[in-house]
Structure 1
């Protein structure tokens, strides 16, 4: 007779995991990026995209995530489930008597530094792909100005301050449960750092 220990299932746990298994942060980020691509290609209307995005960030199982991507191109590709986060490299945006803009689809790194000196800058996160569940932005303006535009669903904490200048603290911090969190640090000197939640616009 075979012993109890010999009767144990020795298959790889990856093979026995079913669709009700708990999803990881990386899985939610991957689906959010797929939804953004579909919206960019016109396969999802803005309202549908934002609804699915909210549900993706709140999803706890693979089954919930798979339902959101089932009718989209790329759905037949096997996602890299439960993988380790792979955030984009840290980034520095400079405006020295000039300007910078980051708009549209771009990979948001885990750490982003923005600096304006006698210049202006815009960081628009509304259409961007988050590569980490938490983002640190260090925003510095000296005799310059910059604006950080946030999508409605992200969570935010603001720690910056102004010295003879302004550093916006008027944005409410709470967004959608499970959505990425943006921490904003820094200061302004004779300048300004504006922070706003701004609705996405339907693509023409």
Structure 2
């Protein structure tokens, strides 16, 4: 067998082998890049993103990015997820906000004390398949916005306040899971699914 035939056989075997979580996350980020640059319409982006999270083989992932200009399919497969560093967001008589394109860490802690905040995950880059959000509102309020495909588990509670538990819709199998814990005291933690909007420009992700 020639070297070229051997390479083709190896490439074919790689494409049919099982994809890792890191590969799905990487492709999801490439698709988000393409959408931000206007190379994918919103509906096409969301469709491909759902398929990327549900993909089980490299061949499926390669098909989702093969027609994107300037994208080279990485020959390196698998590897360990490297989540962004844990983050603490405080709104003490003030406000915090995470919107648009940002790296979601494995662990995020938020505190709204006589203040408010917004965590918008619709356009964010996930860096791990599981995200823990510890949300605390004391005489304040905060809102967590989830895109349609993300899975969610909620274990928080409210004391003379509100902590959303019922989030309509189901996520996509294989998509990241956001686990939300915490409490509200005379405050509110709102958790909602919200559809993405078509971006008017790269500088206006909302």
Query: Which residue is equivalent to 2:145?
Result: 149
Query: Which residue is equivalent to 1:160?
Result: 156
Question: What is the distance in 2 between the residues matched to 1:73 and 1:79?
Answer: 17
Query: Which residue is equivalent to 1:195?
Result: 191
Deviations 1:84-111 (CA, angstroms, capped at 9, x unpaired) = 1100000000001000110001000000
Unpaired stretches in structure 2, ≥5 consecutive residues: 1-9, 201-206
Query: Where do 4+ consecutive residues of structure 1 move more than 3 Å?
Result: 14-17
Is 2:33 aligned against 1:37? yes
Question: What is the distance in 1 between the residues matched to 2:159 and 2:125?
Answer: 32
Q: Report the alpha carbon displacement of residue 73 of structure 1 after superposing the two structures with TM.
A: 3.8
Q: Are 1:91 and 1:112, in contact at CA under 8 Å, matched by a contact in 2?
A: yes
Deviations 1:146-172 (CA, angstroms, capped at 9, x unpaired) = 000000001101000000100011204
Q: State TM-score, norm by structure 1.
A: 0.90
Q: Report the alpha carbon displacement of residue 18 of structure 1 after superposing the two structures with TM.
A: 2.4
CA RMSD of aligned residues (A): 1.5
Pick aligned residue for 1:100 from 96, 100, 108: 96
* Cα gap change, 1:80 to 1:141, in 2 (>3 Å): farther
Unpaired stretches in structure 1, ≥5 consecutive residues: 1-13
Q: Report the alpha carbon displacement of residue 79 of structure 1 after superposing the two structures with TM.
A: 5.1
Q: State TM-score, norm by structure 2.
A: 0.89
Question: What is the distance in 1 between the residues matched to 2:89 and 2:69?
Answer: 33
Query: Which residue is equivalent to 2:203?
Result: none
